[in-house]
Amino acid sequence: MCGIIGYVGSKNAPAILIEGLKKLEYRGYDSAGIAVLKNNKTIITKEKGTICKLEEKLKENMSTTGIGHTRWATHGVPNKINSHPHKVENITIVHNGIIENYLELKEKLINKGYNFKSDTDSEVACALICDLFKEKNDMQKVLEEFKKITRGAYAIGVLIDGVEDKIYAIRNKSPLIIGVSEEENFIASDVPAILEYTNKYILLEDMDIAIIGKNDISIFRSNKKIKNDIKIFDKKVDKIDKNGYKHFMLKEINEQPDVIRRTIESFSKKDLPNLTKYEKIDIVACGSAYHAGLIGEHLLSKKLKAVITTHIASEYRYKDINPNFKTLVIVISQSGETADSLEVIKKANEKNIDTLGIINVYKSSIAREVKYLVYTKAGFEISVATTKAYLSQITTFALMVNSKLNKEEIVKAINKTLKLEQDCINIAKKIKNQENLFFIGRGIDHYIGLEGSLKLKEISYIHSEAYPAGELKHGTISLVSKNTPFIATITDEVISEKTISNIKEVKARDGNITLIATEDIKVNEDYYDSLIQIPKVQKDLQPLLAIIILQLISYHTARLRGCDIDKPRNLAKSVTVE
Ligand code: M6R
């Protein structure tokens, strides 16, 4: 989602801002822009589309102070006018987040004579800052007042015409850090954006206000200047490179043997709380991480007495956590920045409820907030559609119930499964022109279907639904007619007979079945149209192999349809708004 970068120093700000924006590209965006201060005025360049397009538009503007932004549209379509930076009179801002009461603020500002060019809440925030600045003439006081008037989430960088060497910043519920260096300082949505220049950073907390100059940084918390707490980012960030693959997604699918090896090798039970002491475990996440949670629930329920339930974070955050049970909240997140998941952790912390994070991104916001933390070892994931991070999340749950997984066996089986790519291409050719598709399975196989369905939808734009196989006959089977496509998964032999019965019901109505089954599960060939057999491994890891097949089918279907696989339309890698 939106990304922010800012620079104040002695070097050429536009070049640094563009490089910083490129590092934030993975978050997903649809337009980009920068503002630099020159001769006491900001010069703004912004464009719909890629950062390269923006770069082409940049004029030779030597400046040593500036702010930049990648926008992922929330209020108003992706176009140049709605993109950031926004300028109102002498104030220029970049904003990540959502100002919830912007309409009411906009009305008041219109009554005061302000005009708005864009449809955004961000331009309203800019006008509000401008208006308050006229009255107070002191940006710290302005931002203190801004906090009181606005509702919502924001990370904002501000420039003032006439103030050449200062960036002002404020954050509330959207990520923002300050990069600290010699005679130059930065603001950014995350640390990797500034790592080329410095690994020293200050984390802004919610409601902090900062004034950043090239040699000085002042941070105000509850209206008082606080001591700067400079941290060191002590980890190397992976090189961003497709390594010969056409897309990051395919590269990341093929990295999964290494990912599982790393995840198993680095797992330590010491990072976990004593799981047996809880009466209730709530697993909370969004999207694919939620699907990994369902598998986690399935695995943990077999071992623990606690009542274990998986929840979607955007729903859970508005529910009350029953204080009568000793509860653990487990949040799963690749990015560690997902706004809804972060709020769940904050709410649990406020109520003194134990939290465990299963997080991929080092020192991300959720990683910093949880009481117990397990880092998944997927490495940097660029493709918006998650593959290797999801796999490492399921592996982590498998390790939580059995820390002695047979690493060599599973790595070998994953490599063998990856070799089934041509079979997946054949299925992709078969489904590429479909408009609708069903994924069916029971139990853990249904959870895999949910993930397969999400993968296919998000990158190929084919509508699909994942159904528990036994539920079809309660309504949905009415949609089955000649050649309606189904992808059925059977990896759990205990319930294989039952799923086979449901497959027969589909076949009896002329549906078309692609079956993904573990090699020892025997299904009469009359009941399917295509079959992909995956190797057999120890039970808790079996889902991993089936999901790799579904990832490859989705990938090749999207490729054959000519979709923008790594950056699917309307999606962002890290979802930092509610
Ligand atoms: O960063 P997170 O794991 O918290 O993200 C959660 C979802 O937004 C994410 O899994 C999303 O569903 C993926 N794009 C799916 O491929």
DSSP, residue by residue, 524-570: -GGG-SEEEEE----GGGHHHHHHHHHHHHHHHHHHHTT--SSS-TT
Residue nearest to atom 11 of ligand 1 (CA): 287
Phi-psi region of 34 (alpha: psi -120 to 50; beta: other; left: phi over 0): beta
Given a contact cutoff of 8 angstroms between Cβ atoms, the answer to whether 252 and 382 are in contact is yes
Ligand 1 contact via 385 beta carbon (within 6 Å): yes
CA distance 449 to 185: 47
Angle subtended at Cα 399 by Cα 394 and Cα 400, rounded to the nearest 5 degrees: 95
Output 372-377 pairs: Cβ under 8 A, ≥24 positions apart.
372/271, 372/272, 372/273, 373/271, 374/267, 374/271, 374/272, 375/266, 376/263, 376/334, 377/259, 377/262, 377/263, 377/265, 377/266
Helices vs. strands in the chain: H and E counts, helices first: 17, 25
Ligand 1 contact via 384 beta carbon (within 6 Å): yes
Cα distances from 279 to residues 159, 359, 376, 565, in angstroms, run 52, 23, 25, 42
The neighbour count for residue 103, using CB atoms within 10 Å, is 11
Given a contact cutoff of 8 angstroms between Cβ atoms, the answer to whether 86 and 126 are in contact is yes
Q: Which of 72, 283, 333, 334 to mutate to test the pocket of ligand 1 (most atoms within 8 A of CB)?
A: 334
Look at strands 91-99 and 184-188 and give their pairing: unpaired
Residue nearest to atom 8 of ligand 1 (CA): 287
Ligand 1 contact via 544 beta carbon (within 6 Å): no
- Residue 85: cis peptide before it, omega within 30 degrees of 0: yes
Q: Which of 286, 376, 453 to mutate to test the pocket of ligand 1 (most atoms within 8 A of CB)?
A: 286
Ligand 1 contact via 65 beta carbon (within 6 Å): no
Centre of ligand 1 from the C-alpha of residue 289, in Å: 6
- The partner residues of 485 in beta bridges, in order of sequence, read 512
pTM of the model: 0.86
Instruction: Provide the percentage of residues in the chain whose pLDDT is more than 90.
Output: 80
Angle subtended at Cα 89 by Cα 85 and Cα 94, rounded to the nearest 5 degrees: 20
Cα distances from 369 to residues 177, 344, 345, 357, 448, in angstroms, run 15, 10, 7, 9, 29
The whole-number pLDDT of residue 199 equals: 93
Return the active site residues.
2, 573
Dihedral pair phi/psi, residue 301, rounded to 5°: -60, -25
366, 369, 371, 337: which is closest to 354 by C-alpha? 371
The three-class DSSP label of residue 143 is helix
Q: Which amino acid is at 279?
A: E
The whole-number pLDDT of residue 149 equals: 96
Given a contact cutoff of 8 angstroms between Cβ atoms, the answer to whether 256 and 406 are in contact is no
Alpha helices in 267-403 (DSSP H): 287-303, 313-316, 339-350, 365-369, 388-401
The whole-number pLDDT of residue 360 equals: 95
Residues of the chain with pLDDT under 70: 61, 238
Residue nearest to atom 12 of ligand 1 (CA): 287
Cα distances from 503 to residues 447, 471, 550, in angstroms, run 17, 12, 18
What domains lie within the chain, and their CATH numbers? Answer: 3-232 (3.60.20.10), 236-405 (3.40.50.10490), 418-565 (3.40.50.10490)
The neighbour count for residue 406, using CB atoms within 10 Å, is 14
127, 164, 161, 121: which is closest to 142 by C-alpha? 127
Widest distance between CA atoms in the chain: 79
Ligand 1 contact via 383 beta carbon (within 6 Å): no
Residue nearest to atom 4 of ligand 1 (CA): 333
The three-class DSSP label of residue 107 is helix
Quickly tell me which residue has 């930049």 as its tokens. Answer: 68
Given a contact cutoff of 8 angstroms between Cβ atoms, the answer to whether 486 and 476 are in contact is no
Query: Atom of ligand 1 at shortest distance to CA of 335?
Result: 1
